[in-house]
């Protein structure tokens, strides 16, 4: 053996976990360990032991036996406990106790495995630096797309590629609602209500349906894909509240489905350059029916990464839920147990580049536009004149007899052109008395 | 930091490669390294250098400059060269020079990265033992499903799961032919001819269309998924030569598409037990149109793994070609550079279980059957009597006026029942003068 490749001796001591947070995911992790213990330990090459747990309420019945685990009175105890090698943070929240715990653990050189997308989206860069200086792992497979191993797919599987674009269906609630609207023909409010009854949407659904959750995940995916610093604040976000049944029907007739998509792309595909321009957007899009994302319905998530050698890779699976999320958390625990110390964002945090935010208006795209207008002569002439004045070329236009809740609906699809022109056209019409409701613009995803 | 989790110091010396085989994939790897060098090295955390290459013909123009690399006169030189840390085996063939090279390298404690599915399917268990005793890595991401990181998806991403079933579209040539037959309505022979002209099928296509290539990949996937020894000889194989345009049309009318599928399942899902029963089959199947595999067309590959916590995970992408395969090879090289020494089959080779082969006849399935029969009275009665006598319950039957090349075609779909009964029914009819051609049986994949 050449000296250079002599492997480190495998660590065979038990890996000792401290788990913070015993909600759905925390309980799922305990159940998984119980049910798959032999298998997981054989793969990890060592025992995996839960030595301490902490949650807000000790007395609550969670359906799992907590007797075998020491109870940590505070979350800080998990970080300072010398018997804990790895802290599993399942508390949630971008700041506050979760962040304090992660910092305390990493500062002590302990590893951290987390499902906390908000924390990584806001503080991932700093936490990665702490991880690399202290030597403890930081892993967050469960933070993006639930049970789908997309973080490791990008960090390991696509490691040979310059990635040009990463995008996908990153929020199960929104995808469930849009695909239900598609199959039932029902409108947004009604479908949301049903989704809430069925447990597919939270009582307060804003985080999901307004795109924030997807934006957290997208910011993490971009950083990993392009070697840039996580820039959650740079994500342009638009949710699905404005999408109507009629939009979905029109899209269908034109050969598209409507999905909430997070897309990130960079102008130098990560392969050099000091000031790359990064565009990150979450918004409802029209997806051609022959695109691999089109058949993804219900609460399923899917992520597409386009590499300069691999071509288009797609990962799909359950985006949330106890089992899938616990599976992702355990994948990270096993990786730590195996001694994996790949930097959290694939390259050393100090080398992550600060990307400029690209001007989304300069992008060339085809767009779908829908207007609610008064039912009187001249309105169509006014709309089309605004398009002409803003240099937007119309590919197709449908105005049918059907009247929406707030007027007659006019839908159009533009030829490819600068997004800024479409915005200008909308601005030209902004104060027109002919418009009886807020217009909706959705880009058409290029295949 | 607790002593137990102190990470090994990262190796920052260059990783020195010796590449054997400069066909499409070998050249792809050189091109990738040239084009993405900075990126790959940043991710690997160290330089990656090609120090020696070998191929059969030194003089051949491959479109890449070989001047920077030392030429190894023999493949053995790559294994014995003290400057080579990692041998990249891209020669192919289950035995012969490729196997000798892999053995020689692993015996010296050097790592081996290979795209050679036949070698791993036949000798993977023994090579894994050599890898683990000598300390050199053995990785084969490129051996299954081209550019799709499914090996790492199973080995790392799904590490927390007992896997119950793993299956997928594992041969791009067959999938291309079947999806072309679907869209064009043309028959097998004609479509194969076109595929050969277009480069989607080899001049000698047997390996692909008879299912052997898919079986190699399936045997590797099973071992990884279930912790069993690779058992290529245990794969029941049937190719796509018997599939006719009419079968695809019938399947379509019934709500299915026809795809060549490799499926493996185990009765204890890998979670304990000393004598698990493993069933591995490659054959054309009917796939419900709402199944995630149904939209996979052309040369795309896709692998589904069903975990007891993750649920259904699917990985899809390009299954072959210079870029995708080079991408997979590079993923392995980067993993070795990062110090990843996970056992080749996820658990130590000595602990891989010898699985018994399950009796496929005992499986319960719905089946599609197609008969070519003489156009005369009583034939349908004879067919249906054979079904009754073999205890096969018919769900639907179509005999239309259309006459095939060898008689009238009768297609039926059975209710769920033992596969052995269907085989018995076919056997009962074997010598019947009413049958004018070989019957075709295709199972219907359960969703």
Which residues in B lie closer than 8 A to residue A137 (C-beta atoms)? 7
Range with the poorest average pLDDT among A304-313, B27-36, B244-253, B402-411: B402-411
Residue A2 has pLDDT above 50, yes or no: no
- To the query of whether residue B217 is one of the catalytic residues in this protein, the response is yes
Residue A210 has pLDDT above 90, yes or no: yes
Residues B36, B322, A278: CA angle, nearest 5 degrees: 40
- Supply the mean pLDDT for chain B: 94
Shortest CA distance from A158: residue in chain B? B331
Quickly state the pLDDT bin for B424 (edges 50, 70, 90): very high
Residue B403 has pLDDT above 90, yes or no: no
pLDDT at residue B3, rounded to an integer: 46
Q: How far is A209 from chain B (nearest CA, A)?
A: 24
- What are the pLDDT digits (tens) for B214-272? 999 999 999 999 999 999 999 999 999 999 999 999 999 999 999 999 999 998 765 55
Whole-complex ipTM: 0.95
DSSP state of B289: T
pLDDT at residue A372, rounded to an integer: 92
Name the residues of A annotated as catalytic: 217
Element (H, E) at B124: helix B117-134
Q: Is A317 left (phi over 0), alpha (psi -120 to 50) or beta?
A: left
> Within 10 A of B194 (CB to CB), how many other CB atoms are there?
16
Could you give the CA distance from residue A378 to residue A394 in angstroms, rounded to a whole number?
Answer: 18
Quickly state the pLDDT bin for A3 (edges 50, 70, 90): very low
Residues B250, B255, B260: CA angle, nearest 5 degrees: 75
Residue A402 has pLDDT above 80, yes or no: no
Task: Note whether A134 contacts B270, CB cutoff 8 Å.
Answer: no
- What are the pLDDT digits (tens) for B156-166? 999 999 998 99
> Within 10 A of B377 (CB to CB), how many other CB atoms are there?
7
Shortest CA distance from A341: residue in chain B? B7
Which residues in A lie closer than 8 A to residue B6 (C-beta atoms)? 109, 135
Which residues in B lie closer than 8 A to residue A14 (C-beta atoms)? 4
- What are the pLDDT digits (tens) for A242-284? 999 999 999 999 999 999 999 999 987 655 556 789 999 999 9
Q: How far is B105 from chain A (nearest CA, A)?
A: 9
- What are the pLDDT digits (tens) for B333-383? 999 999 999 999 999 999 999 999 999 999 999 999 999 999 888 999 999
Quickly state the pLDDT bin for B47 (edges 50, 70, 90): very high
Could you give the CA distance from residue A380 to residue A410 in angstroms, rounded to a whole number?
Answer: 8
pLDDT at residue B191, rounded to an integer: 97
> Within 10 A of B79 (CB to CB), how many other CB atoms are there?
24
Per 3-state DSSP, what percentage of chain A is helix, strand, and coil (rounded to 5)? 40, 25, 35
pLDDT at residue A446, rounded to an integer: 86
Q: Does B162 touch chain A (CB under 8 A)?
A: yes
pLDDT at residue A4, rounded to an integer: 46
Q: Does A274 touch chain B (CB under 8 A)?
A: no
Q: How far is A340 from chain B (nearest CA, A)?
A: 7
Which residues in A lie closer than 8 A to residue B44 (C-beta atoms)? 159
Q: Which residues contact A344 (CB under 8 A, 6 or more apart)?
A: A124, A127, A128, A131, A132, A137, A138, A139, A140
The two three-digit tokens of residue A111, written as one number:
């590893």
Range with the poorest average pLDDT among A2-6, B140-144, B413-417: A2-6
Task: Note whether A36 contacts B308, CB cutoff 8 Å.
Answer: yes
């Amino acid at each position: 053996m050449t000296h250079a490749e002599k492997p480190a001796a495998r660590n065979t001591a038990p890996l000792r976990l401290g788990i913070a947070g015993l909600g759905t995911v925390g309980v799922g992790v305990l159940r998984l360990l119980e049910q798959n213990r032999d298998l997981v330990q054989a793969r990890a090459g060592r025992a995996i032991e839960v030595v301490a747990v902490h949650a807000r309420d000790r007395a609550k019945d969670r359906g799992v036996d907590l007797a075998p685990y020491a109870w940590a009175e505070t979350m800080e105890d998990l970080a300072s406990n010398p018997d804990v090698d790895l802290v599993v943070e399942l508390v949630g929240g971008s700041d506050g106790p979760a962040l304090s715990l992660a910092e305390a653990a990493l500062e002590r050189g302990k590893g951290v495995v987390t499902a906390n997308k908000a924390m990584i989206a806001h503080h991932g860069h700093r936490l990665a630096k702490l991880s690399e200086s202290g030597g403890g792992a930081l892993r967050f497979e469960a933070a993006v797309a639930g049970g789908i191993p997309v973080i490791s797919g990008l960090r390991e599987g696509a490691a040979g590629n310059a990635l040009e674009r990463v995008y996908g269906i990153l929020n199960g609630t929104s995808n469930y609602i849009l695909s239900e609207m598609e199959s039932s023909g029902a409108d947004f409010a009604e479908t949301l209500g049903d989704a809430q009854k069925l447990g597919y949407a939270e009582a307060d659904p804003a985080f999901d349906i307004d795109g924030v959750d997807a934006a957290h995940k997208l910011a993490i995916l971009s950083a990993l894909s392009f070697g840039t610093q996580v820039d959650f604040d740079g994500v342009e976000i638009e949710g699905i509240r404005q999408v109507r049944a009629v939009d979905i029907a029109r899209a269908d007739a034109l050969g598209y489905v409507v999905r909430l998509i997070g897309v990130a792309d960079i102008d130098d595909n990560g392969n050099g350059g000091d000031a790359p321009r990064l565009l990150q957007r979450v918004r409802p899009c029209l997806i051609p029916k022959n695109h691999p994302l089109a058949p993804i319905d219900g609460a399923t998530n899917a992520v597409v990464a386009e590499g300069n050698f691999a071509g288009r890779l797609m990962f799909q699976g359950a985006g949330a839920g106890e089992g899938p999320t616990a599976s992702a958390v355990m994948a990270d625990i096993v990786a730590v147990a195996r001694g994996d110390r790949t930097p959290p964002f694939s390259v050393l945090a100090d080398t992550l580049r600060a990307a400029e935010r690209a001007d989304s208006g300069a992008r060339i795209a085809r767009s779908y536009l829908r207007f609610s207008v008064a039912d009187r002569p001249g309105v169509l002439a006014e709309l089309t004149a605004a398009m002409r004045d803003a240099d937007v070329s119309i590919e197709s236009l449908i105005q049918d007899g059907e009247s929406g809740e707030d007027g007659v609906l006019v839908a159009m699809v533009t030829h490819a052109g600068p997004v800024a022109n479409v915005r200008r056209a909308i601005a030209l019409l902004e104060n027109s008395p002919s418009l009886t409701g807020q217009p909706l613009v959705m880009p058409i995803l290029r295949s």
